[in-house]
A = this chain, B = another copy of it.
């Protein structure tokens, strides 16, 4: 059986789960490599992937005998089969943040499940720790993101609008990578004061501030980087805020390593910001992998520690409504003794 499914089975044992239904396509891709529409059942005896006629051929070609995955067309499965899959399972796990209430009821019904247990966290925990292949994909996505930023520094000129720059980023990533990992944010002037700005028709002017938040995908794995740049000269206030954000981004980043308390890292930034009268209105960072936002979430309410081979962002920001905002973000690999910053674009003004 492949390692990832084997690891999941080990975790299931720890929770006294005899079966599990995996519905989230990202988790299915993680565990099996399959990218299709279907559901993965882990039972005591087998791993079964149920799909429909559109995907049977592709899926059968994707899985190897080593995966030990039985591929079924749902049209060939009887009511008896459904009811037998989990027959001897007392507890069956499911993904409570992906499965809708309607799916939950349907699964309970067709599989005749005894105890249906919220168990998404066991997959999230597996996915937090990246193996070398995953790290190489993220590293490559970060490298392409740095190249895109180098390109943008030459490309962006007064007179262009935000949408035009955002589209250029999308095209760059379609050319050089497997597309964007999320819709790029290009927020200029007063728009930069919105943490989640959507690119508008606003035209870039001389002496504008621009926040660019972007990333791409390589084999499904994401990169995530934000830089705030100046077209011309920043004001004194902008310089002060920029340096406060940068200083805290680098201070918090340097604390990141295997065993470091997530809560403590977030506190560095929130308390330094508070001292200057600013709020950190969003989390300090998040895990990056097959999802652009995944565990672990870097915030004061997270009591866990960082672990070797996690990949997370560090992205403090200060937003002054109606005026401007600054956010600086890197994607970071946690190592045994410290961290490796995977996005390397220059950050000083």
Looking at A98, A101, A170, the one whose CB has the most chain B CB atoms below 10 A away is A101
Choice from B57, B96, B118, B196 contacting A54 with Cβ under 8 Å: B196
**5 interchain residue pairs of minimum CB distance:** A96-B102, A96-B101, A101-B104, A97-B102, A99-B101
CB of A94 within 8 Å of the partner chain = yes
CB of A167 within 8 Å of the partner chain = yes
CB of A257 within 8 Å of the partner chain = no
| CB of A119 to closest CB in B, whole Å | 11
CB <8 Å contact, A118 and B99: no
CB <8 Å contact, B101 and A321: no
Question: When chains A and B are docked, how far (Å) is the Cα of A321 from the Cα of B167?
Answer: 36
CB <8 Å contact, A194 and B101: no
- Return the chain B residue nearest A94 by Cβ: B101
Contact with B along A220-246 (1 / 0, CB 8 A): 000000000000000000000000000
CB <8 Å contact, A100 and B102: no
Choice from B96, B99, B102, B171 contacting A171 with Cβ under 8 Å: B171
Knowing A167-B171, A174-B167, say if A53 contacts B101 (CB, 8 Å). no
Question: When chains A and B are docked, how far (Å) is the Cα of A137 from the Cα of B278?
Answer: 42
CB of A259 within 8 Å of the partner chain = no
Q: What residues make up the interface of A, taking CB atoms closer than 8 Å to B? A: 53-54, 57, 94, 96-102, 104-105, 118, 163, 167, 170-171, 174, 194-196, 281-282, 321
| CB of A203 to closest CB in B, whole Å | 16
CB neighbours (8 Å) of A195 from chain B are: 54
CB neighbours (8 Å) of A170 from chain B are: 170
CB neighbours (8 Å) of A100 from chain B are: 96-101
| CB of A103 to closest CB in B, whole Å | 8
- Report copies per complex: 2
CB neighbours (8 Å) of A96 from chain B are: 100-102, 105
Question: When chains A and B are docked, how far (Å) is the Cα of A99 from the Cα of B99?
Answer: 8
A-B pairs with beta carbons under 8 Å apart, 30 shown: A53-B281, A54-B194, A54-B195, A54-B196, A54-B281, A54-B282, A57-B321, A94-B101, A96-B100, A96-B101, A96-B102, A96-B105, A97-B100, A97-B101, A97-B102, A98-B100, A99-B100, A99-B101, A100-B100, A100-B101, A101-B101, A101-B104, A101-B118, A102-B118, A104-B104, A163-B174, A167-B171, A167-B174, A170-B170, A171-B171
Question: When chains A and B are docked, how far (Å) is the Cα of A105 from the Cα of B100?
Answer: 11
Question: When chains A and B are docked, how far (Å) is the Cα of A124 from the Cα of B98?
Answer: 21
| CB of A327 to closest CB in B, whole Å | 13
Question: When chains A and B are docked, how far (Å) is the Cα of A57 from the Cα of B94?
Answer: 38
Looking at A96, A100, A167, A194, the one whose CB has the most chain B CB atoms below 10 A away is A100
- Return the chain B residue nearest A193 by Cβ: B57
| CB of A58 to closest CB in B, whole Å | 8
| CB of A97 to closest CB in B, whole Å | 5
| CB of A100 to closest CB in B, whole Å | 5
Question: When chains A and B are docked, how far (Å) is the Cα of A104 from the Cα of B97?
Answer: 10
CB neighbours (8 Å) of A98 from chain B are: 100
Looking at A163, A174, A281, the one whose CB has the most chain B CB atoms below 10 A away is A174
